[in-house]
Amino acid sequence: MRKSTNFFTAILALAVLLTVSMGCSQLSKLREKRVAEGNQDTIPTFPPSGKEEAPKDVKTGLSEKTQLYITKCFNPYANRVMDSYQRYTSWVKNENTGPTGRESIVYGLYDVSGDGEDCIAAVAEAQEMEPELPEVEQSAGQYSAALKEAVYQIRSVYKYYDQEDYKDDKFQKGKEAHASLIAAFKNFETVNKSFAAALDDLETKVSNDQLEELRGDPAKKFEFSVVDFNVKAKKISSFVQRTPYGSMNADELQNLNDELEPAINTMKEEGKANMFAGMYFSAAEDLLKASKELMRRIRDKEPFDSFESSQIGTSGGWMVDGSPDKVIYAYNQLISRRSMLRF
């Protein structure tokens, strides 16, 4: 029998109340050149738990389960593993054959903090909680298994490259390890996308529950406006995340912008007495501006020039006006400033 979640504390409930509502959130930089290929794969990351106090009547079962997946599995590992994958393939030019030993630059790959056991334990704990979510639980199990294997393969060669031991064995170990390493990376990438989508859907349910709990409470108008804004901001990030650039529709994006702008104004009005909220409000405006820039580029059929195209999907993509990367970066900044609201 699944154990009850009535023990869920007010501290964690508050964290969920306003941080989970941020949506399928801190989206990392895009991993692939998406503009030419129409590939919009992104990796959502979620805002960390806060320490504020939630209303006592907030429903917590689904929230606590979602938070376990976010704080123990997704946030600590998803981006780092994919960053390591990207780092490795930045110098290994052929994923099928692996390193040749003739590379002029060898970057190695990034290490990962943690061994994945905390995620495995969290998945097992969530499995025993209500509500039952068979598809999500299956996805979480696949994620934790893929994570464990990816971390193992990364650790098996990290020091080898970091210590430049390939100079001593003519890349023998690197060549032998490549097939298992790249298979682990590819498998993790696949299940990571599925798990991200599942968490995104869970967040939508949690946010809707939170809105209903806060709706009509005169003492919680600001909190309600923040959650409502977050829901609308999440719609934009999800649109950018899930829609190939070539398939984006300017009218659809404009409709999302039209929903977001009044939500920002309401949030600013309700929170004008919050002395710490200014930077968060500024980040909200930046997200709206980036989304408008993307809409205009699509509407006006303005192509990316060669330099802009070379930046899309890299760490510099956020600097390209009217790019999906800039929208994602703006959303990341919004999430990072959530704690400044202090309520």
Q: Does 205 map to a domain?
A: yes
Residue type, 169: D
Please tell me whether residues 151 and 284 are part of one structural domain: no
What is the predicted pLDDT for the residue at 315?
Answer: 75
In-domain check, residue 17: no
- Residues 165, 255: one domain? no
Q: Both 148 and 182 in a single domain?
A: yes
pLDDT for 29 equals 37
Q: Is the pTM of the predicted complex or chain greater than 0.95?
A: no
Query: Is the distance from CB of 66 to CB of 17 less than 8 angstroms?
Result: no
On whether both 204 and 229 belong to a single domain, the answer is no
Residue 262: which residues within 8 A CB-CB, separation 6 or more? none
Domain finish residue from 169, 187, 216: 216
Last residue of a domain, one of 165, 187, 216: 216
Given a cut of 90, whether residue 149 has pLDDT beyond it is yes
Task: Please give the residue range of the domain that contains residue 298.
Answer: 24-44+220-343
Residue 194 lies in a domain: yes
**Which carries the bigger pLDDT value, residue 126 or residue 24?**
126
Number of folded domains in the chain?
2
Question: What are the tens digits of pLDDT across the range 45-91?
Answer: 555 443 344 443 333 488 899 989 998 999 899 989 998 998 999 99
Tell me, yes or no, whether 311 lies in a domain: yes
Same domain, 133 and 250: no
The pLDDT confidence band at residue 121, using thresholds 50, 70 and 90, is very high
> 3-class DSSP state for residue 129?
strand
Write out pLDDT tens, residues 204-239. 888 888 899 999 999 999 999 999 999 999 999 989
37 pLDDT exceeds 60? Answer: no
Average pLDDT taken over every residue of the chain: 85
Shared domain check, 154 and 36: no
Closest alpha carbon to 199 in 99, 71, 66, 35: 66
Last residue of a domain, one of 216, 245, 261: 216
Q: 343 falls in which pLDDT band (50, 70, 90)?
A: low
163 exposure class (CB count in 10 Å sphere: 0-12, 13-18, 19+): exposed
DSSP state of 47: P
* Dihedral pair phi/psi, residue 282, rounded to 5°: -60, -40
Give domain status of residue 4, yes or no. Answer: no
Q: Are residues 165 and 83 in the same domain?
A: yes
Residue 36 lies in a domain: yes
User: Which residues have a Cβ under 8 Å from the Cβ of 103 and sit 6 or more positions away?
Assistant: 91, 92
The pLDDT assigned to 79 comes to 86
Same domain, 292 and 329: yes
Same domain as 231, residue 156: no
Residue-wise pLDDT for 321-337, tens only, equals 999 999 999 998 998 88
Residues 172 and 40 placed together within one structural domain of the fold: no
Give a yes or no: residue 330 inside a domain.
yes
DSSP sequence for 283-307: HHHHHHHHHHHHHHHHHTT----HH
